[in-house]
Amino acid sequence: MSNPVFSGFTEVTHRLFGGYAELLHMPHTARFSIGSVLACMPFPMIGMTITIAVQHYYHNYALAGALAAIQAIAMAVVGPLLGKLVDKFGQRQVAIPTIIVWLIAAAAMIACITARAPQWTLFVIAPFMAAIPPWGAMSRSRWTHLLKGDRVRTDRAMSLSGVFDECMWVIGNPLASALAVVSGTLAFGVTGACVVIGALMFLTELTTEPPSQTTLAKQSGLTRRQYRQREAAKAEELHSSASKKTQELRSSASAKSERVKQSIWGPGLIALCVTWFGLGAFQSAASISIIAFATEQSMKQYTGLVFACFSISSLCGAIVYGAKNWITPLWKRFYFCLAVVNIGIGTFLFARHLWVIMIIYLIIGVCQAPTWINGNQLLLHIVPPTRFTEGVAWIGAMNSIGGSVGSAIAGIFIDRSGSQGGFLVVTLLALLSLVLAFVGFRQIKSSTETPTLTAITV
């Protein structure tokens, strides 16, 4: 006779992880998924390493914030360009030279920091630290290519990618904090090793790589421009059909295919980018303010643990969120999760101990990964599948720009007024971010009422 407790536990486990296991049992998917996580390690580790190392060698939070801002601005410029190039020419063709540039820049950066080189040298090197291939976007692009037409499993794959992202932050933040306190060189070295190993796992998996626009155009006997025009016309037709304008579109389809814009920019993508700008601004300001707060309390060694708690909570949220087939409209889920994160982080101003911040992070973290998952799912309604990497890169770029603004402003206030000055900036930015998100309410809501553009078959 089976144990009912064990049976119940098994059933719950199957419901939570059964769908994910099914995805990872597909041939070759586990390899590129894990590879992308390892290759993405610069995201959680480099910012933390630079902040701790610069504060240790230069005793200047403003400098650390400014360097983070320069890197973020560079990523905002380079990210969409790399995403566009990946969609055009292929993942391996773009990722390999980009990795080489990043490895050289990382070695130069840590050498200059430990040698206490003039500050201008750090500002020269910092932009090259943005040469990071869009691994997360490329991984999600592989999933949408493999699962084309399967809405349920595509949404679950987006959640699975969010789970892996949170695993990266759970591991990366405390690891970077611990290693950087010991040695900045060691932290950079471990990060570089992760990049190389992850890139090899990801890029040597060829069977799951989606075809580039160049490849698809050649297969269709078209130039890349003609192919993009045809794809844009089909996307426009799908949107118009959802708006009950199918008959009108069909009568003018031949003319529209010539004049339709190839740009992916529309009200929906603009609204998402503005929202992600605000999200990056207050979360980046919160990170540097927490480091300052922990330093004031002589608890700097625990900052990685605090950030890890946020990521662990977010990881749990991603696992549960992706395991459920949601009936609630996507736009409602998006705004609910966003409001929880913004309002929760805005309360850091009233915290008087580092452990209070950790508890708040644990509570609101369950909505962090779902917010990003919802954003990626919104993109499936907004941009065509062969422009998906570029679309993800754009919201990532706006998040980086917001992060640069937030960290720079917070750094100035921290140097003047301590961590409380930084947390005041965090609260104001969090409230402003929520207001900006609701300004785009109509565009985001309407985008969820159209079919996903992964239905397009060229």
Domains of the chain: 19-204+263-451 (1.20.1250.20), 213-259 (no CATH)
Q: What is the pLDDT of residues 309-368, one digit of tens each?
A: 887 888 888 888 877 777 888 888 889 999 999 999 888 888 888 898 889 999 998 888
Predicted pLDDT at 173: 67
Q: From residue 378, how far is each of 25, 169, 439, 446 by CA, in Å?
A: 26, 23, 17, 10
Confidence band, pLDDT 50/70/90 cuts, at residue 458: very low
Confidence band, pLDDT 50/70/90 cuts, at residue 10: low
Cβ atoms 213, 227 nearer than 8 A: yes
33 secondary structure, DSSP code: H
Name which of 360, 308, 366 is nearest 337 in CA terms.
366
pLDDT winner (highest mean) among 86-95, 107-116, 195-204, 369-378: 195-204
Single pTM value for the model = 0.69
Q: Report helix, strand or coil for 363.
A: helix
Name which of 253, 214, 217 is nearest 235 in CA terms.
253
Predicted pLDDT at 104: 92
Q: What is the pLDDT of residues 257-287, one digit of tens each?
A: 333 345 667 777 888 888 888 888 888 888 8
**CA triple 416-406-425, angle to 5 deg:** 50
Between residues 424 and 444, the one the model is more confident about = 424
Between residues 300 and 157, the one the model is more confident about = 157
DSSP codes of every residue in 237-283: HHHHHHTT-HHHHHHTHHHHHHH-------HHHHHHHHHHHHHHHHH
Cβ atoms 335, 372 nearer than 8 A: no
Q: What is the pLDDT of residues 159-185, one digit of tens each?
A: 788 778 777 877 776 777 777 767 767
Name which of 276, 327, 331, 278 is nearest 441 in CA terms.
331
Q: Report helix, strand or coil for 430.
A: helix
pLDDT mean across residues, the chain:
79
Cβ atoms 426, 285 nearer than 8 A: yes
Q: Is the pLDDT of residue 4 over 70?
A: no
Instruction: Determine the distance from the C-alpha atom of residue 13 to the mean position of all C-alpha atoms in its chain, rounded to a whole number.
Output: 27
Confidence band, pLDDT 50/70/90 cuts, at residue 190: confident
Q: What is the pLDDT of residues 64-86, one digit of tens each?
A: 777 877 877 787 788 888 888 88
Cα separation, 115 vs 7, in Å, equals 60
Cβ atoms 278, 426 nearer than 8 A: no
Q: What is the pLDDT of residues 115-166, one digit of tens each?
A: 888 988 999 998 998 888 888 888 888 888 888 777 778 778 877 887 787 7
For residue 308, the one-letter residue type is: A
Predicted pLDDT at 254: 38
Between residues 162 and 372, the one the model is more confident about = 372
Cβ atoms 223, 217 nearer than 8 A: yes
Over range 7-17, report the average pLDDT.
Answer: 59
Q: Is the pLDDT of residue 407 over 50?
A: yes
CA torsion 157-162-167-173 (nearest 10°) is 160
Q: Report helix, strand or coil for 350.
A: helix
DSSP codes of every residue in 142-172: HHHHHTTT-HHHHHHHHHHHHHHHHHHHHHH
